Amino acid sequence: MNKPLKLLVIGGGGREHALAWKLAQSGRVGEVLLAPGNAGTAGEAKCRNVAVAAEDVPGLLRLAQSEGVDFTVVGPEGPLAAGVVDSFTTAGLRVFGPTRAAAQIEASKAFTKDFLARHGIPTAQYRVFTEEQAALDYVAQRGAPIVVKADGLAAGKGVVVANTVDEAQAAIRNMLGGGMGQAGARVVVEDFLAGEEASYIVVAAGTRYVPLASAQDHKRVFDREQGPNTGGMGAYSPAPVVTSEVDARVRAEVIEPTLRGLAAEGRPFTGFLYAGLMIAPDGSPSVVEFNARLGDPETQPILMRLDSDLLDLLEAAVAGDPTAAPPRWKPQAALGVVLAAGGYPGTIRKNDPIHGLDADFGPDAKVFHAGTTLRDGQVVTSGGRVLCVCGQGPDVRSAQRAAYSAVAKISWEGAHFRTDIGYRAVSREEEK
């Protein structure tokens, strides 16, 4: 019998809770450390939180070495962009995630747009600006709707989909005028794409890859896509817009040329590669964004559906070939509803005690924590997206019912959530 493995998951959001929960189910795993984790991971079987910040690369390296960690999985983009994978690899540690050079596909939108153009990968027409007047003139000439994006990392909040020229110009003035700090020092202005979005995530190692199950996220804060963009208010899997024809096109037109292009440019990508896609009514995919990590909240419903061992898959990828341990999926659908703190996505309330977490949620629901912490033994809110409450069932409609019946058992002062997660898939199911 081999010695049980000790893993490290870097991060403390809902995505990391789901990763740790799923990795802990592997029979080969003895313990999963989280740096820093949250109140949910503190109570998860085989899991232990360690007070090291996700972006403290030297601290993470010391932790992995002193604890004898066998394998590390990086959740968020911050540590990737800070080079955590490079540091761990140089120190001889096994880690799953892209190098800093490969993670550039997420860290700079301007880099990504230029990369897509160089490799003929479909995306909206765009221009990159640092001069305010040039950007204002371009928008006036191009007309609305039009999309204005801060170049740097902005936690999903650096994008304005403007319905009028005025709105686009105000966003440009704000970003180039310093209103978003360094992230907005360069802006990308791009054409509006019509269609339905999908999140398509693969486990890659150079040019070899396996897709995870498809998903769809809900970015706007209010029902029926009203209000500002957020990091994501809910997600479900599978996404019916990704038919088998669309899937084949995404692989051939987006994923494969992207992995080949990154390898050819000397930035081979090992890790989760997330393509945020717009699927036009005729089924053609366009890239809206890339992320160098799993989606949050997409990960929570995707991993609820994963039937095989996640560690086997990630270890195979680090060894160079994820196709050696392809994932198996449950036929069920899964759906997650994000419960957010009062004020999110603006200035949020914190330290509100959360009620109902000890309810019996049954076998078809799972509560993943994100912005939670323990204060005197009580779980309190500590971030914008607080929980992701997931349900599963034979179709999206029943997964939605399972999720919302669990949501109904939980409350705190100022909590808010969308009541329509999954509506596009549910209406397709009802048409059948």
Give the residues lining the site for ligand GLY (CB under 6 A). Answer: 156, 217, 231-232, 291, 295-296, 298
> Terminal CA-to-CA distance of the chain, rounded, Å?
51
Which position among 86, 190, 296, 309 is part of the footprint of ligand AMP (CB under 6 A)?
190
Whichever of 116 and 205 has its CB closer to ligand AMP, that residue is: 116
Which position among 93, 161, 171, 212 is part of the footprint of ligand AMP (CB under 6 A)?
161
Pairing status of strand 126-129 against strand 187-191: antiparallel
Other CB atoms within 10 A of residue 397 CB: 17
Whichever of 47 and 233 has its CB closer to ligand GLY, that residue is: 233
Number of residues in contact with ligand AMP under rule CB under 6 A: 15
Whole-number minimum distance, CB 296 to ligand GLY, in Å?
5
What radius of gyration do the chain's Cα atoms show? 21
Q: Distances in Å between the alpha carbon of 387 and those of 113, 114, 143, 274, 407?
A: 33, 36, 39, 22, 10
* Position 193 contacts ligand AMP (CB under 6 A): yes
Q: Distances in Å between the alpha carbon of 346 and those of 159, 183, 234?
A: 14, 17, 18
Give Cβ neighbours of residue 286 (< 8 Å, ≥ 6 apart).
122, 123, 124, 193, 195, 277, 278, 280
* Position 171 contacts ligand AMP (CB under 6 A): no
How many whole angstroms separate alpha carbon 156 and alpha carbon 154?
6
Whole-number minimum distance, CB 217 to ligand GLY, in Å?
4
How many whole angstroms separate alpha carbon 199 and alpha carbon 322?
20
Whole-number minimum distance, CB 231 to ligand GLY, in Å?
6
Interacting residues with ligand AMP between 340 and 369 (CB under 6 A): none
Whole-number minimum distance, CB 212 to ligand AMP, in Å?
18
Near ligand AMP by CB under 6 A, which window of 2-10, 89-97, 189-197, 352-360? 189-197
Interacting residues with ligand AMP between 208 and 227 (CB under 6 A): 219
* Position 108 contacts ligand AMP (CB under 6 A): no
Interacting residues with ligand AMP between 128 and 157 (CB under 6 A): 147, 149, 156
Helix or strand run (H / E) with residue 149: strand 146-150
* 178 neighbors 138 (Cβ within 8 angstroms): no
Q: Distances in Å between the alpha carbon of 366 and those of 21, 197, 281, 370?
A: 10, 25, 34, 13
Give the single-character DSSP code of 368. E
Whichever of 85 and 124 has its CB closer to ligand AMP, that residue is: 124
Whichever of 16 and 106 has its CB closer to ligand AMP, that residue is: 106
Whole-number minimum distance, CB 156 to ligand GLY, in Å?
5
Whichever of 232 and 383 has its CB closer to ligand GLY, that residue is: 232
How many whole angstroms separate alpha carbon 139 and alpha carbon 200?
30
Residue 229: name its binding partner from ligand GLY, ligand AMP, none (Cβ under 5 to 8 Å by kind): ligand AMP
What is the contact surface with ligand AMP in residues (CB under 6 A)?
Answer: 124, 147, 149, 156, 159, 161, 190, 192-193, 197, 219, 229, 276, 288-289
